Structure 1
Amino acid sequence: MSGTRDAERRRVRGMHRATALAVLLGLTACASPRGTLSPVADTVPGASKVDMLVATTRMPADDPKEYFSGNRGPQLSFAEFIVSIPPEANRKPGEVQLPQSVPGNPATDFVTLKADVIDRAQATAWFRRTVRTVPKRRVLVFIHGFNNRFDDAVFRFAQIVHDAGTPVVPVLFTWPSRGSVLAYGYDRESNTYSRNALETTLRAIARDPDVGEISILAHSMGNWVTLEALRQMAIRDGRVTPKIKNVLLAAPDVDVDLFREAIVDMGKERPGVTLFVSQDDRALAISRRLWGDSVRLGAIDPEQEPYRTDLEKSGITVLNLSKLRTGDPLNHSKFAESPEVVRIIGRELAEGQTLTDSRVGIGDRIIQVTAGAAAAVGTAAGLAVSAPVAVIDPRTRENFQGHVDNLGQAVAGTVSP
């Protein structure tokens, strides 16, 4: 009994350390002022525009300037946002330059030109009108992660769409995140709460006869609701709709065993799946502590067994971003902040191929994205291709401990008990 109590005390201390570190990390972040989504009158020469459809399970905000809150809404709501992105001379690819005051300056800040809450019929009309203007009629659905306010999600997606440089119909699915580092549990349950709505959204897009193909990009905790929605769809229909071609899972805050089960439930005719992992992801090291030492999918080392063998069998591709450096102190948003990675995504989606097909042999499933590859975007230079690796196996918890253990201990050890 004493051994059990000691183990529980150690687990609780680890959770306290992780929570304290999360608070410290959160306090170092720069928050944008409220009301940043309020439209400005006009943009400036050289600025770019991203016109997106929003589907959300968030409750409308009490303050109309906020549009949607972090509370859970009773049904899907819709909006249209046109985001103005500063001229290339005034920003670096990968950056989201939030206004320091309201209204923002379109010459230097991300600002909105249009921000309208709309009903389902208006959303359908917008979608049908827009999809006919896009080559190959390709749709990109983005699902954000933990600790995202509504404006965070809108501006981040606009940045990804712009920097990828690929014509798509942008659809943001945003779920009720509190936008607070102290609300991990609430966000996780809001994520699960939204799985039926995401499934409904994906079905509605796929039913449109004008849609050619759908790609999904999920980040962090948003990977959980994505996997749940696709799993449900496969169980109901016997497969995921064939219009969903690519599912890109960036820094997934998902238990490895649950991922394995979701992939199995999707069946053999599932979409192509690509993982973006990084062994130096500090946010996932904290999450692992909070989940009782549960291995997080986005922090695996794909060179290790059992991942190596199983990924070859499953056909899942991995982009290992561990050697890539960005301005993110948590190393959790490399997929969006790295110009290399965003452009790789854009090019491959534009070509309608999986991320490995145009660069390496069919059997190769790991791409190591190296530092300093910016000048080589669009070519094989700057990408080191490794042998096939694996990611799903029921022996995960027993066979994979070393490097993530060390990472978690190093992170938790930075805060005193």
Structure 2
Amino acid sequence: MLFVTNRSIRERERAAGTRPMSERRIHFDTRDNFAGQAVYFCRRDGADDYVEVGGLAFMQALKEAQRRQVLLYFHGFSNQPEPDIFPRAELLQRLFDAIDPLLVSVVPVIWPCDNDIGIVKDYWDDQKSADASAFAFARALEKFLAWQTGNAENDDSCLKRLNVLAHSMGNRVLRATLSCWSRYDRGGALPLLFRNVFMVAADVVNETLARGGEGEPITVSARNVVVYHASDDLALRASKVSNLKNGVASRRLGHTGPEDMRQVPGNVYAIDCDDVNTLYDPPKGHSYFLLDPQQSDVAGGRLVAGKVFAHIAAAVQSGRVPLDDAVRRIAVLRG
């Protein structure tokens, strides 16, 4: 599995940002949650078995893969590469492959979460790391666009569609990345790069996608921006309480969806997951975008996708968002 990261690694002989001469084994330093400005393009060959391949080889591998689309997965807070991020990304890949083995390649985007004991300390440390990771991942997007443009001039362009799935605080990383990329590299005008951006249980304020809001670059960069929300998400309830410390009283996007659909662009859609979130992720109801655990037997190899994942997959396949009310741009996923 290919992945991109700005986490600290133990091997630091190579100057940051330079291309490796050949593949080299790397190891994460999980005790270090510093948000590095170097970005590493890598491949996972197995648990704790990682190889840095370099940007050009990474992009060429994505292009040459048989799968037709790419999905960048921005994980949530307090997640470590093992056993959290990669197993979940692999499960995402298995669920997509069960629908169509040539549909999409899942590519984790790994930012440096803390591994301290204590969820509140983790939360504040991870917010800082999420914001500070923006420069590294903006550079990665700029590298990709330069590579794609250069190939187009040689009639060798990569035409695969790009999608994003951001979970929880991963949406903060995505928002900061696109804002940074727009400001420093794109002159305030982002390209339409993504087919779909799926914002699941987003731990950002619920006004962020409004015109002029911090998250407006997300809506500019994507054909569809799909917000999955659940009012009884206990993790986001704790997030709102934590944010009161810094005077941020607004509700979270993953709790309510956009505060006012009239204030967001017409490519933003709100999907109510209240009926299924705690069924799929009891008792917190926060990580509800994968399996239906009541029907699945993971140990036995029987995977049954939940309705949230099925909704995401349908949008990836068609480029259109299944809705109950196309005028109001909403849907309710029922248990």
Identical residues among aligned pairs (%)? 22
- The question of 1:71 aligning with 2:33 is answered yes
2:9 to 42, 52, 60: 60
Paired letter, 1:297: L
| Alpha-carbon shift at residue 271 of structure 1 (Å) | 3.7
Paired letter, 1:183: D
Please give the alpha-carbon distance, in whole angstroms, between the structure 2 residues aligned to 1:196 and 1:232.
6
| Alpha-carbon shift at residue 231 of structure 1 (Å) | 2.3
Aligned partners of 2:42 and 2:52 also within 8 Å: yes
Please give the alpha-carbon distance, in whole angstroms, between the structure 2 residues aligned to 1:189 and 1:162.
32
Considering only CA atoms, is the larger Rg found in Structure 1 or Structure 2?
Answer: 1
| Alpha-carbon shift at residue 118 of structure 1 (Å) | 1.1
Please give the alpha-carbon distance, in whole angstroms, between the structure 2 residues aligned to 1:139 and 1:286.
33
Aligned match of 2:198: 248
- The question of 1:202 aligning with 2:141 is answered yes
Segments of 5+ residues of structure 1 without an aligned counterpart are 1-51, 84-111, 372-417
| Alpha-carbon shift at residue 256 of structure 1 (Å) | 2.4
Please give the alpha-carbon distance, in whole angstroms, between the structure 2 residues aligned to 1:245 and 1:224.
19
Aligned match of 1:355: 321
Aligned match of 1:183: 122
Aligned partners of 2:76 and 2:170 also within 8 Å: yes
Please give the alpha-carbon distance, in whole angstroms, between the structure 2 residues aligned to 1:195 and 1:133.
27
Aligned match of 2:73: 142
Please give the alpha-carbon distance, in whole angstroms, between the structure 2 residues aligned to 1:82 and 1:363.
46
Paired letter, 1:76: V
Assess, with a 3 A threshold, how the Cα gap between structure 1 residues 360 and 239 changes in structure 2: closer, same or farther.
farther
Aligned match of 1:276: 228
| Alpha-carbon shift at residue 246 of structure 1 (Å) | 1.4
Assess, with a 3 A threshold, how the Cα gap between structure 1 residues 245 and 164 changes in structure 2: closer, same or farther.
same
Query: Which structure 2 residues correspond to residues 247-396 of structure 1 after superposition, within 5 A?
Result: 247-260=197-210, 261-265=213-217, 270-292=222-244, 293-300=249-256, 307-310=260-263, 314-324=266-276, 325-338=279-292, 339=305, 340-351=307-318, 353-356=319-322, 362-371=326-335
| Alpha-carbon shift at residue 314 of structure 1 (Å) | 3.3
| Alpha-carbon shift at residue 68 of structure 1 (Å) | 4.3
Paired letter, 2:114: R
Q: Secondary structure at the match of 1:183?
A: helix
Aligned partners of 1:56 and 1:76 also within 8 Å: yes
Assess, with a 3 A threshold, how the Cα gap between structure 1 residues 229 and 212 changes in structure 2: closer, same or farther.
same
Please give the alpha-carbon distance, in whole angstroms, between the structure 1 residues aligned to 2:90 and 2:214.
29
| Alpha-carbon shift at residue 342 of structure 1 (Å) | 1.5
Please give the alpha-carbon distance, in whole angstroms, between the structure 2 residues aligned to 1:117 and 1:268.
34
Over aligned residues, Cα RMSD in angstroms?
A: 2.7
Please give the alpha-carbon distance, in whole angstroms, between the structure 2 residues aligned to 1:220 and 1:240.
23
- Deviation per CA, 1:226-275, whole angstroms, max 9, x where unpaired? 01212233343443222322111110111223443134456767542110
Paired letter, 1:343: A
- Deviation per CA, 1:77-135, whole angstroms, max 9, x where unpaired? 2321146xxxxxxxxxxxxxxxxxxxxxxxxxxxx4x8232142xx5324313422335
Q: Secondary structure at the match of 1:319?
A: strand
Please give the alpha-carbon distance, in whole angstroms, between the structure 2 residues aligned to 1:234 and 1:270.
13
Please give the alpha-carbon distance, in whole angstroms, between the structure 1 residues aligned to 2:220 and 2:38.
32
Please give the alpha-carbon distance, in whole angstroms, between the structure 1 residues aligned to 2:187 and 2:282.
40
Aligned match of 1:223: 171
Paired letter, 2:127: R
Q: Secondary structure at the match of 1:162?
A: helix
Segments of 5+ residues of structure 2 without an aligned counterpart are 12-24, 149-156, 293-304
- Deviation per CA, 1:372-396, whole angstroms, max 9, x where unpaired? xxxxxxxxxxxxxxxxxxxxxxxxx
Q: Secondary structure at the match of 2:207?
A: helix
Assess, with a 3 A threshold, how the Cα gap between structure 1 residues 188 and 317 changes in structure 2: closer, same or farther.
same
Aligned partners of 2:164 and 2:198 also within 8 Å: yes
Aligned residue pairs total 280
2:180 to 217, 220, 232: 232
Assess, with a 3 A threshold, how the Cα gap between structure 1 residues 268 and 58 changes in structure 2: closer, same or farther.
closer
Assess, with a 3 A threshold, how the Cα gap between structure 1 residues 80 and 197 changes in structure 2: closer, same or farther.
same
| Alpha-carbon shift at residue 65 of structure 1 (Å) | 9.4
Paired letter, 1:75: A
1:81 to 44, 47, 56: 44
Paired letter, 1:295: R
Assess, with a 3 A threshold, how the Cα gap between structure 1 residues 336 and 240 changes in structure 2: closer, same or farther.
farther
Aligned match of 2:105: 169
Paired letter, 1:223: N
| Alpha-carbon shift at residue 160 of structure 1 (Å) | 1.2
Aligned partners of 2:37 and 2:135 also within 8 Å: no
Please give the alpha-carbon distance, in whole angstroms, between the structure 1 residues aligned to 2:127 and 2:218.
22
The higher-RCO structure (CA 8 Å, 6+ apart) is 1
